[in-house]
Structure 1
Amino acid sequence: MEINSSFYRPHRRTTYERWAASVPQTFRFAVKVPRTITHEHRLRAAGEPLDQFLLEVGGLGSKLGPLLVQLPPSLAFEPGVADRFLEDLRRQTEGPIACEPRHQSWFMPEVEGLLDRLRIGRVAADPPPVPGADQPGGWAGLTYYRLHGSPRIYYSSYDDAEIHTLMDRLSLRAARGSVCWCIFDNTAAFAATGNALTAWEG
């Protein structure tokens, strides 16, 4: 499960603790990094809000899965800024991190090397905001798909054949040691639940 509400507003640590207590031991939550960090600070001078966010999500304990860093489409790759933020984030957490850039400048070998070095997986998104964004990248130890619905974003459902093809692809990556996540975000017409069940059933 991906917690998306954390992008819009903070949750108390006790709220995360309650969620953690409500699920089985093997359950994991992915949590989206707040927009104050990614869209308002734009990764600059974000130490204080990042510290607060990590303190809050620490309430999930062993139930914490990937942290999702979704970047605004207007945020171009700046080596100094990106390096500092991602290195700071990696220093503070040993857990999985997924980065979802949406500007073309992030899709180049320099960025791939940075993400791989810091053990950060690049999100594969559908529909892709820029060419290449529909394929996973960065560190191969984490594969993270976010499926928003295509051709109509947030509304369109995926047919069974599309889902089965993707599950086969994820199975191959998992066999190579990658931890795989697949999030259906096509929720506007309630397609996500059915698509997720199809994926779960294989």
Structure 2
Amino acid sequence: MHTHYIGTAGWSISSAAASHFPSAGSHLQRYARALSCVEINSSFYRPHQPATYARWADGVPDHFRFSVKLPRSITHERRLRDGAAELDRFTGEVLQLGTKLGCVLVQLPPSLQFDTAVAAAFFSALRQRFSGMLACEARHPSWFEEGATGLLTLQRITRVQADPPAGQPGPHVPTTEVAYLRLHGSPTIYYSDYPPAYLASLAACLREPAQAGSWCIFDNTAAGAALFNALDLQARLTDLPAAPAHSRA
């Protein structure tokens, strides 16, 4: 049986979507009773106290999972080099999520070219601190070549399938049996609403026998489409009624 984690980047609930979520509790508690995961992007910009992560974990159901984005100080400033202290701090914080920490997301800057030695050392260091799922969203063409594919496969790093893709010169080539999709909105990034036909096709793909499981994060949050898209896709995968499109005003 496939395990699908469907959610959005962040757990804000707009007034337009509020009726599709329980009315009681914090935004996170309400969100987590309707969707199965969330991606924490704020960790990219600033650290959170270990106690904050522990509180978030305590407020969600047992089946719920968090994906946490690695800080930009590691990916964009140090560019994967000499980041041991930052990795220690980050993992010391996020491990407070316990079993609800489902994935660590590594998003790389578009200008960062693949370097075998640097990438191997970085992912080995991260693996020493966290044995769970790692996903990498690279955006330079060199990260889609054979050498990078081999390293990600060897290190069990899931290559993110992004829409729209950045830097990817051809079809998506997976590196693990679990998919991690980041749907930013297309044609207008962060804004565009995915139509029902697209979500139906996506649901069919996620049900394919070769798919061991999936994470699907909607990042088209700027105009509020992400929550409705996530609820729609989750309903298609669980045979529940979808959130009606006309309520997305």
Smaller-chain TM-score bracket: over 0.9
Looking at structure 1, the residues matched to 215 and 173 of structure 2 have their Cα atoms a distance apart, in angstroms, of: 11
Give the C-alpha shift of residue 110 in structure 1: 1.2
1:170 counterpart (199, 206, 213): 206
- Equivalences, count: 199
Match of 2:196 in 1: 160
State the Cα deviation string for residues 50-107 of structure 1 (Å, max 9, x = none): 1110000011001001100000000000111111001111122110000000000000
> 1:11-26 maps to which residues of 2 (within 5 A)?
11-26=48-63
Looking at structure 1, the residues matched to 50 and 100 of structure 2 have their Cα atoms a distance apart, in angstroms, of: 13
2:139 counterpart (87, 102, 108): 102
Looking at structure 1, the residues matched to 88 and 161 of structure 2 have their Cα atoms a distance apart, in angstroms, of: 27
2:216 matches 1:179: no
Deviates more, 1:106-115 or 1:47-56: 106-115
Instruction: Please identify the structure whose Cα radius of gyration is greater.
Output: 2
Looking at structure 1, the residues matched to 197 and 171 of structure 2 have their Cα atoms a distance apart, in angstroms, of: 17
Q: Is the 8 A contact 1:136 1:143 kept in 2?
A: no
Closer/same/farther in 2, CA of residues 23 and 133 from structure 1, 3 Å limit: farther
Name the TM-score, length of structure 2 as normaliser: 0.77
Looking at structure 2, the residues matched to 94 and 145 of structure 1 have their Cα atoms a distance apart, in angstroms, of: 21
Match of 1:92 in 2: 129
Looking at structure 2, the residues matched to 76 and 178 of structure 1 have their Cα atoms a distance apart, in angstroms, of: 30
Looking at structure 1, the residues matched to 155 and 201 of structure 2 have their Cα atoms a distance apart, in angstroms, of: 29
Looking at structure 1, the residues matched to 139 and 154 of structure 2 have their Cα atoms a distance apart, in angstroms, of: 20
Spell out structure 1 runs of 4+ moving beyond 6 A: none
Match of 1:196 in 2: 230
Give the C-alpha shift of residue 158 in structure 1: 0.3
Looking at structure 1, the residues matched to 168 and 92 of structure 2 have their Cα atoms a distance apart, in angstroms, of: 36
Instruction: Specify the code of the residue in structure 1 equivalent to 2:206.
Output: L
Name the TM-score, length of structure 1 as normaliser: 0.95
| Partner-residue secondary structure (3-state), 1:153 | coil
Q: Higher relative contact order by CA 8 Å / sep ≥ 6: 1 or 2?
A: 2
Give the C-alpha shift of residue 126 in structure 1: 0.6
Give the C-alpha shift of residue 176 in structure 1: 3.4
| Partner-residue secondary structure (3-state), 2:46 | coil
Instruction: Specify the code of the residue in structure 2 equivalent to 1:126.
Output: D
| Partner-residue secondary structure (3-state), 2:181 | strand
State the identity as a percent: 52
Closer/same/farther in 2, CA of residues 136 and 181 from structure 1, 3 Å limit: farther
Q: Is the 8 A contact 2:140 2:168 kept in 1?
A: no
